[in-house]
Amino acid sequence: MAEPLIVALPKGRLTDDALAYLERAGYGLPTKGDNGRKLVLEGSDGRLRFIMAKPADVPIFVEYGAADLGIVGLDVVREAARDVYEPLSLPFGRCRLVVAGRADRPDRPLRLERSPRIATKFPRLTEAFFRARGLAPELIVMSGSVELAPLVGLADLIVDLVQTGSTLRENGLTELRVILESQAMLIANRASYRLRAGEVRGLIDALARATAD
């Protein structure tokens, strides 16, 4: 039996959909009952091995070839800016990366801000977005509850992921700009794409068919 292909999956809101589509594409999933603690799981048919990683780490596993493939949001892929292939977009995990501010902020264009203080978990994309518009943002990099920052005067604006927008509304925030429309992506290591071309191509095509149905 050949070595299984290694797929890095993000722990969290994309996990179930990612596994469901891989199953629909005909791949054996890890057997149930591992109570979510194991970080490396074997697929039941021996064709795939799964690495359960923090979403932000998935592109790193894939770039280094520790995983041949990965499934993760486009937002994470762009923020990580790692050298990986992106052969497939997957029809789940849809959300958008937005600039948001207090609903009661004065209504004027962002470009007239002096040097906005922005709380975010996406420093690279935030920096690039504001720099491209001629602004010098002051970034406050946070690891949770970014919505809190404008409410307590820590930041003028936030850049964060939004699915329905209800969290923003509940916290008295409003969406100002969309930076990126995101959805789940299949990413691939550049070496694996060549060295295991047949198996990688097989998985891309099978997933493409599974998502087209």
Residues near other proteins (CB under 8 A): 62-66, 83-89, 188-195, 197, 201, 204
Shortest separation between residue 85's beta carbon and other proteins, angstroms: 4
Pick from 67, 62, 54, 66: nearest CA to 85: 62
Shortest separation between residue 196's beta carbon and other proteins, angstroms: 8
- Cα separation of 201 and 205, whole Å? 6
Shortest separation between residue 146's beta carbon and other proteins, angstroms: 27
Shortest separation between residue 127's beta carbon and other proteins, angstroms: 17
Query: 120 or 192: whose CB is closer to other proteins?
Result: 192
Using alpha carbons, list the distances in angstroms from residue 213 to 21, 26, 72, 101, 206: 11, 14, 21, 39, 11
Query: 58 or 84: whose CB is closer to other proteins?
Result: 84
Q: Is 75 exposed, middle or buried (0-12, 13-18, 19+ CB in 10 A)?
A: buried
Query: 6 or 98: whose CB is closer to other proteins?
Result: 6
Q: Take residue 89 and report the two structure tokens written for it.
A: 């977009």
Residue 32 identity: K
Query: 68 or 156: whose CB is closer to other proteins?
Result: 68
